A and B are shown apart, each in its own frame.
Chain A
Amino acid sequence: MGRQVCIASAGFSEHASKRSDVNMPELISEAIEDCLKKVPSVDIKDIDAFVNGNMPAFEGSSIPELWMTDWMGARNKPLLRVTTGGTTGGSVAISGYYTVTAGLPGIDTVLAIAFEQQSQGDTATGLASVAYGEISVLNSLGIPYDQLTALFSAGAAIGVASYQATNYMRKSKITEVDLARVVVQNRHNAAKTWWAHLKMPNLTIEEVLDTPYISYPLRYGMVCPASDGACAMLFTTEEKAKDMCDIPVYVNGVGSVATETFPLGYCGSGSGQLDPSEQLGAQKTSEVAFKQAGISFPRKEIDYAEVYSPFPNQELMWVEKLGLFEENTASLMYETGVTASKGELPINCSGGVNSTNAIGASAMERPAEAALQIMGKASNQVPKTVHTSLGHGWGGYVNLITMMVMADEPARKFK
Chain B
Amino acid sequence: MSKLTRRKSMEYIKKDYVRTRTMPANWYLSSYNYKFNITHMQPLREKLKQKKIVGLQCSSCNRVFFPPRLVCGKCMVKPDRWVDVRETGQVASYTIAYIKDPETGGVQERPIVCAQLDGSDTSYPVQLNPNIAFKDTYVGMPIKVHWKDNPEGGLNDIEYYDIAEDDSKDLELRKD
Contact = CB atoms under 8 A, between A and B. Distances in A.
Interface of A: 20-23, 26, 29, 33, 36, 40-44, 60, 121, 125, 132-133, 136-138, 140-144, 147, 150-154, 159, 162-163, 165-167, 170, 212-216, 239-240, 243-244, 260, 262-272, 274-276
A142 B20 contact: no
Interface of B: 1-10, 12, 14, 18, 20, 22, 25, 27, 29, 32, 34, 36, 38, 41, 45, 63, 65-71, 73-74, 92-99, 110, 112, 114, 116, 121-127, 134, 138-139, 152-157
Contact of A60 (B25, B98, B122): B25
B125 A274 contact: no
A214 B122 contact: no
Contacts of B5: 41
Contacts of A29: 10, 12
Contacts of A136: 34, 36
A269 B124 contact: yes
Q: Counting chain A CB atoms within 10 Å of each CB, which of B22, B68, B69, B71 scores highest?
A: B69
Contact of B122 (A138, A140, A239, A271): A271
Given A154-B97, A272-B74, A142 B155 contact: yes
Contact of B127 (A22, A60, A151, A212): A151
A243 B126 CA distance: 59
30 contacts: A21-B18, A22-B14, A26-B12, A26-B14, A36-B7, A40-B7, A41-B5, A41-B7, A43-B8, A125-B29, A140-B36, A140-B38, A142-B45, A142-B156, A147-B156, A150-B99, A150-B110, A153-B97, A154-B97, A163-B114, A170-B139, A214-B98, A240-B1, A267-B69, A269-B69, A271-B114, A271-B124, A274-B116, A274-B122, A275-B92
A263 B10 contact: no
Nearest to B92: A274
A268 B125 CA distance: 10
B154 A143 contact: yes
Contacts of B134: 216
Given A216-B96, A243-B2, A269 B67 contact: yes
Question: Which 4 residue pairs of A and B lie closest in terms of their CB atoms, listed nearest first?
Answer: A142-B154, A270-B124, A216-B96, A270-B122
Contact of B95 (A140, A162, A274): A162
Nearest to A45: B8
Contacts of B12: 26, 29, 33
A48 B106 CA distance: 58
A166 B93 contact: yes
A267 B38 CA distance: 11
Contacts of B123: 262-263, 270-271, 274
A144 B157 CA distance: 11
B152 A142 contact: yes
Q: Counting chain A CB atoms within 10 Å of each CB, which of B1, B22, B63, B126 scores highest?
A: B1
